[in-house]
Amino acid sequence: MKNIFIHEVGMRDGLQMEKSVVPKEKKLEWIDQLVSANVDIIQIGSFVNPQRMPQMADTDELFQEINQKYANTRHPIFSGLVLNEKGLERAINSGVQLICMGVSASETHSQKNTGMTTSDALQRIIAMAHQAKSAGFAVQVSVQSAFGCGFEGRVSKERVLSIIDKYLENDLFKISLADTAGHAFPQQVEDLFGEILKRTDKAELTCHFHNTYGLGMANIYAAMQMGVEYFETAFGGLGGCPFTKIASGNVATEDFLHYLHRLNMRKDILLPQIVDLARQVSDFFGKTLPGCVYQAGILNY
């Protein structure tokens, strides 16, 4: 088991499904709490069409304000998601520290999410990744629907690995496998990440699991055993892709962190602050979130 890093995606993946648009000032409060909790990476938002996703309309402004606020202080890495060249241009102008982009292994999901075929999206994403890296930005590339698709069902391992191979051929080694539909199971997780590790020892691997069928934490455990280092989770278990068939929440950051603390790992990340944030978010939206620990409380032994 290598080092473990938490990439908090609640501000993007968590909020994108919520119909109640969160005011920018409230988002900044929540980001400040995540910063003070010592989370490793915080995904601030996505650079997408605001008419299509109003919740993300203030992403550029959020980056400008947080970059100014934390310019001279130690802080987490601030990441953002882009889908196309226009989004990349906005991300570069906003000073994003880690630019995330990806391709869906499902043709149906790719069309619904980006309006492109997988092949077209892959060609464009690789070109965008080279552009971002040439401009001095760190880039993470992903395979979405890597473990299955809500519309198509099974996605072949060979299809996923063909995308991975293109990334590796283009010297893109920060790679995420995203379980967009929540279909993954532990043995599949071990198999896919194992295949990547057979291909290269340069990869920095990330996993992103949704808890649609209740296997999110089991899949995280399997990824940890395979040596995956980066874990994308969301406070309270918020989230879900609006362009998949059944949108379900992410693994809750506080649930994963609670497990790490039981292992005496990553105690530098402050669990009580993330639990408190999950409760605040629950109150804001007036509903119970999927996360467990914020409801049950923290075990202190």
**How confident is the model over 18-28, as pLDDT tens digits?**
989 999 999 99
Provide the domain limits for residue 118: 5-296
pLDDT more than 90, % of the chain: 83
- Give the 3-state DSSP-derived string for the chain, with helices as H, strands as E and coil as C: CCCCEEEECHHHHHCCCCCCCCCHHHHHHHHHHHHHCCCCEEEEEEECCCCCCHHHCCHHHHHHHHHHHCCCCCCCEEEEEECCHHHHHHHHHHCCCEEEEEEECCHHHHHHHHCCCHHHHHHHHHHHHHHHHHCCCEEEEEEECCCCECCCECCCHHHHHHHHHHHHHCCCCEEEEEECCCCCCHHHHHHHHHHHHHHCCCCEEEEEEECCCCCHHHHHHHHHHCCCCEEEEEHHHCCCCCCCCCCCCECEHHHHHHHHHHCCCCCCCCHHHHHHHHHHHHHHHCCCCCCCHHHHCCCCC
Residue 220 forms part of a structural domain:
yes
pLDDT score of 276: 98
Residue 32 forms part of a structural domain:
yes
pLDDT score of 153: 85
Residue 225 forms part of a structural domain:
yes
Residue 61 forms part of a structural domain:
yes
pLDDT score of 259: 97
Residues taking part in catalysis: 241
pLDDT score of 218: 98
Q: Chunked in runs of 10, what are the mean pLDDT values of the chain (301 residues)?
A: 90 92 98 98 96 94 96 93 96 97 86 81 96 98 93 90 98 97 96 98 97 95 97 91 60 97 96 98 95 95 74
Q: Residue 122, CB half-sphere, CA atoms under 13 Å: how many?
A: 22
pLDDT score of 177: 98
pLDDT score of 247: 52
pLDDT digits (tens, 9 = 90+) for 183-224: 999 999 999 999 999 999 999 999 999 998 999 999 999 999
pLDDT score of 98: 98
pLDDT score of 114: 73
Structure tokens of 250?
Answer: 């992410």
pLDDT score of 295: 96
pLDDT score of 31: 98
- Count of domains in the chain? 1
pLDDT score of 195: 98
pLDDT score of 41: 98
Supply the mean pLDDT for the chain: 93
CATH number of 33's domain: 3.20.20.70
Residue 301 forms part of a structural domain:
no
pLDDT digits (tens, 9 = 90+) for 143-166: 999 999 887 889 999 999 999 999
